[in-house]
């Protein structure tokens, strides 16, 4: 575990995590609530857009873990809508400047990026749910969250 913590601390990567607190979200928005996965995609990619513009980059291959034909098609449609129409705060024109080919891969392919994302997801979720609880795994990844002025790579919604 200490070797893994060392790797998670020292590997070069930038994190963008969006956590949707589903119960408060549904309580707040009720029947007007959008799909929480679509909300998470929007919030994460608003931050990715900020990062890409700051770094003057325009190409970012996006690898998603395959979940099944229907789920993959839903994500593909949401991703297309996001990258062509934009969000409330970021125009479609800004997203259209990015080249983000989306591909799906089975977890069994053991792709490093998907494995790294899995290793960051649980500690992030634990931190969001119990922020005052000791969480050594989160401490190992904390410094990797994107920050740029008031933009944070860790978005929790609703607050």
Query: Is the bond preceding 158 in cis, omega lying within 30 degrees of 0?
Result: yes
CB of 62 within 8 A of CB of 103?
yes
For the stretch 83-97, pLDDT in tens is 999 999 999 999 999
Orientation angle between helical segments 36-55 and 22-29, nearest 10 degrees: 110
For the stretch 17-63, pLDDT in tens is 999 999 999 999 999 999 999 999 999 999 999 999 999 999 999 99
Residue written as tokens 């690898």?
63
* 2 pLDDT higher than 90: no
CB of 58 within 8 A of CB of 96?
no
| Average pLDDT of the chain, as a whole number | 95
Distance of CA 39 to the CA centre of its chain: 10
Q: How confident is the model at residue 118 (pLDDT cuts 50, 70, 90)?
A: very high
What's the rounded Cα separation, in Å, for the pair 49 and 30?
29
- 152's CB contacts (< 8 A; 6+ apart) are 47, 145, 146
Kindly state the percentage of the chain with pLDDT values over 90. 95
CB of 99 within 8 A of CB of 60?
yes
* 159 pLDDT higher than 90: no
DSSP H stretches of helix in 1-159: 2-10, 22-29, 36-55, 69-85, 92-96, 112-129, 136-141
| Token output for 150 | 């008031």
Distance of CA 131 to the CA centre of its chain: 19
């Amino acid at each position: 575990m200490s070797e893994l913590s060392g790797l998670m601390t020292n590997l070069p990567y930038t994190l963008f995590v969006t956590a949707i607190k589903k119960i408060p979200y549904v309580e707040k928005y009720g029947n007007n609530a959008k799909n929480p996965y679509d909300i998470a995609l929007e919030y994460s990619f608003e931050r990715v857009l900020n990062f890409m513009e700051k770094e003057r980059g325009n190409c970012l291959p996006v690898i998603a873990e395959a979940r099944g034909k229907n789920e993959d098609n839903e994500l593909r449609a949401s991703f297309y809508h996001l990258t062509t129409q934009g969000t409330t705060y970021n125009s479609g024109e800004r997203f259209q400047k990015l080249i983000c080919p989306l591909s799906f891969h089975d977890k069994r392919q053991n792709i490093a990026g998907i494995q790294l994302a899995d290793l960051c997801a649980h500690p992030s979720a634990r931190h969001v749910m119990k922020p005052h609880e000791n969480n050594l795994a989160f401490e190992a990844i904390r410094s990797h969250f994107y920050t740029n002025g008031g933009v944070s790579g860790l978005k929790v919604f609703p607050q």
